[in-house]
Amino acid sequence: MSTMLAAPPLSVSGAKRGELERLARSSSAAHRTVVQAKALLLAADGVANYEIARRVGTSANSVRAWRKRFGIDKDSVARIWRDHELKPWKHDTFTISADPDFEVKLVDVVGLYMNPPEHAAVFSFDEKTQVQALDRTQPSLPMKRGRANTMTHDDKRNGTTDLFAAMNLATGEVIYDTKASHTAANVLSFFKLIDLHVPRHLEVHVVLDDLSAHKAPTVRTRLADPKRARWHLHFTPTSSSWCNLVERFFAEITERRIRRGTFNSVKQLREAIELWNERWNDNPKPFVWRKPAEEIIAKVRRGRAALAQVKSATAH
């Protein structure tokens, strides 16, 4: 006749036992917490898992899980994280483009960045939409020794504007405008502005995303006109804003001017954007693309393979 071996008594320090006893007597703690505390005290006394389950009204598997978790202290967890170079308190975001023409578009755009055509002006274009004119609910405190400039965490919203920008990739200069929205008509109006800034003997190449307003019939019709034969649009892959260099310019103006500012009207916001852009163009800084398309494509392929494995492992 065989006998079932009980698990060894759970090792519980005096301080932990006191905490468990308090929880087991509690009338305000959650029911599950009270049951767990009672089960762990019985486990510390050497009671078998099945008997513990019977006494507290749960399953033996739950008792085993509670025992296992309680045996892993924070120092053990920290050691495991350190040994495996894991940092669960940090996280990165990612999106792998599902564009079926991802590689073709990426090669086209990166090739334009790294080997621009002669006798041409190359621009990176996009809109920064819904830029908010935010004012603070209280005046900011000035910077002084030992204290940074401070502002209230809450704000008042005074309307929005859309910032249109096209960065000349050779010079870093930015053609810009602010508009109430980003309709096809507004896109077409901005393209006309670009056209006015480029000498007639140069071709015009524009990197942009595939927003519907960028590909609207009115835009296509105008650019198809033989008079606009010098115009060439290069669309970035879907969900790949990171490969549009003007996004780095938007990050600069957002961090250094818009986010730090207070604006009591859309007019004041637009004036601030205009002044900042004028100062930028006084001493423009072109952004340089350095990573070849082949390296990016290889990385994306690895990402897709890893994502497929995760999906396969979690499929039910």
pLDDT tens readout for residues 242-270: 999 999 999 999 999 998 888 889 999 99
Q: What's the one-letter identity of residue 202?
A: L
At 205, phi and psi to the nearest 5? -115, 130
Whole-angstrom Cα distance, residue 197 to residue 204?
10
Contact 243, 110 (CB under 8 A): yes
Helix, strand or coil for residue 12?
coil
CB crowding 180-190: b at 16 or more within 10 Å, else e: eebebebbbeb
Radius of gyration (Cα) for the chain, nearest Å?
31
Whole-angstrom Cα distance, residue 117 to residue 42?
78
Kindly report which listed range (136-140, 173-177, 293-297) carries the lowest average pLDDT score.
136-140
Kindly report which listed range (75-84, 254-263, 295-304) carries the lowest average pLDDT score.
75-84
Q: Which residues 6+ apart lie within 8 Å of 203 measured at CB?
A: 117, 119, 120, 121, 230, 232
**Residue 127 token pair:** 């809109």
Helix, strand or coil for residue 169?
coil
More confident residue, 261 or 281: 281
Whole-angstrom Cα distance, residue 187 to residue 210?
12
pTM: 0.69
